[in-house]
Amino acid sequence: MTADMAGPDPRHHGQLFIGGEFQDPHSELRLEVTEAATGATIARVADADREDVDRAVLAAQVALPGWAATAPGPRAAHLARLADGIRDKAEEFAQTISREVGTPIRQSRAVQVGNPIAITSHVAELLPEYRFEEEIGNCLVVKEPVGVVGAITPWNYPLQQVMAKVAAALAAGSTVVLKASEVAPLTALMLAELAEAQGLPAGVLNIVVGRGASAGEALVIHPKVDKVSFTGSTRAGMRISELAAATVKPVTMELGGKSASLVLEDADLATAAKFAVYNAFLNSGQTCTALTRLLVPAARADEAVEVAVATARKLVPGDPMDESTRLGPLASAAQLERVRGYIERGKADGARLVIGGVEPPPGLERGYFVQPTVFDQVGPEMEIAQEEIFGPVLSVIAYDSEEQAVEIANGTPYGLAAAVWSGDRDRAIAFARRLRAGTVEVNGGAFSTQAPFGGVKRSGHGREFGRFGMEEFLVPKSLQL
């Protein structure tokens, strides 16, 4: 990445943010960050080790008493300044994410940057009015900061998932050591620059970059880390749970999903099918809440496929920096290989490929591009209907009865999100209550960054966003009077 491109100061690329200042890492090893659209290296960042993590945790521990004692009003003011700082540099953040992750630039501005601003601003607004104390019988119940938080975030929404954790933890009076994803770390370094410029007290937010197997695990097992908040794959979440158990520290987890969009027979099928495609292919399918299973009445399956294919044809892959692009590349070579593998398995299992496939889109042989893909005649037990693909792949699944539809919708190990479509709102809400998912969109209801967000089953536990997210970093204490 050259100096005139969006992103953090190149001098900070190989550094860590510890104790309020940029520092060189202990290790001389560096990790390459590639541009999703070309595969070219755009930065070399630190590969933090156990010693780096230890320094960051110590800085957070030293800063904890002062930050925990800071009144809610001043804490809220710091968060508001961080939100304003992101807003002031919104275009730089958006361009950086589009290069790292491949999100089309217009989506980067609206979602990848817009959501973090909203998340941080909302917590700052609610904090001064939040009740940290209440009387229950003869007790004064006080809610105290959980302590030093180890936050581990993914690459697909590198600023949103960071601020979902950082804003909530800081609002609660906890201090944070953030382990940013090595695939898309540049936005985290930009956030560090903002924290430094906005005068956030030293050690309140510390940011390290490194691999999960080294820096991430060192953070989870550290005896001075009081809580872990993780977003990522279910497999990684299981590993973190095992490691955290050794020190009996609580863990909040937002993991994978295999979300269903359930279309009832009285719904507007065309609208529902279009919505499913746009949702499933948002950020090239690299979204944990992606509605990648479209459940439709068997008698209308052909109609649903026709609409899905027509909609997918409009999402022509292209340069994510082009204002007209609606579908960008995947984030990495590993992700491209993974998605192509699932497409091949879908075909081998007997699903009918109606559009897309493993070949790169015409003229886009460089970078990590994959064609928008739709499968028909998908059995509920097929791999492509059970496992999270994390690419622009939609499975159309026919059902014969409403009971079967609910059974199919609930019939995966996951439970992060879902959607219901019906011409009768009350009926849709009744079906939504039957779905085992943390979030259910009813007739296309908009995603909210103020409502609780999280999953059930192997999609994790705990909630993020708003007061629900902040309360994950608070511990109630009873003073019996």
Where in the sequence numbering do the catalytic residues fall? 254, 288
How many other β-carbons are positioned within 10 Å of the β-carbon of residue 81?
18
E strand or H helix at 375 = strand 373-376
* 445: DSSP letter: P
How many other β-carbons are positioned within 10 Å of the β-carbon of residue 230?
30
Q: What is the distance between the alpha carbons of residues 264 and 405, in angstroms, rounded to a whole number? A: 9
* 238: DSSP letter: H
Residue type, 421: W
* Sign of CA pseudo-dihedral 84, 88, 91, 93: negative
Q: What is the distance between the alpha carbons of residues 254 and 382, in angstroms, rounded to a whole number? A: 24
Contact in structure between 385 and 379 (CB atoms under 8 Å): yes
Q: What is the distance between the alpha carbons of residues 59 and 38, in angstroms, rounded to a whole number? A: 38
φ/ψ of 426, rounded to 5, equals -65, -40
- Enumerate residues 6+ apart whose C-beta is below 8 A from 95: 5, 6, 7, 105, 108, 321
Contact in structure between 318 and 367 (CB atoms under 8 Å): no
* DSSP-derived secondary structure for 203-229: TSEEEEE--IIIIIHHHHH-TT--EEE
In degrees, rounded to 5, the angle at the alpha carbon of residue 294 between the alpha carbons of residues 293 and 297 is 135
* 400: DSSP letter: S
How are strands ordered across the β-sheet holding 227-231? Answer: 21-23, 16-18, 205-209, 175-180, 148-152, 227-231, 251-254, 460-461
Q: What is the distance between the alpha carbons of residues 403 and 382, in angstroms, rounded to a whole number? A: 20
Burial 3-19 (b: 16+ CB within 10 A, else e): eeebbbeeebbbbbbbb
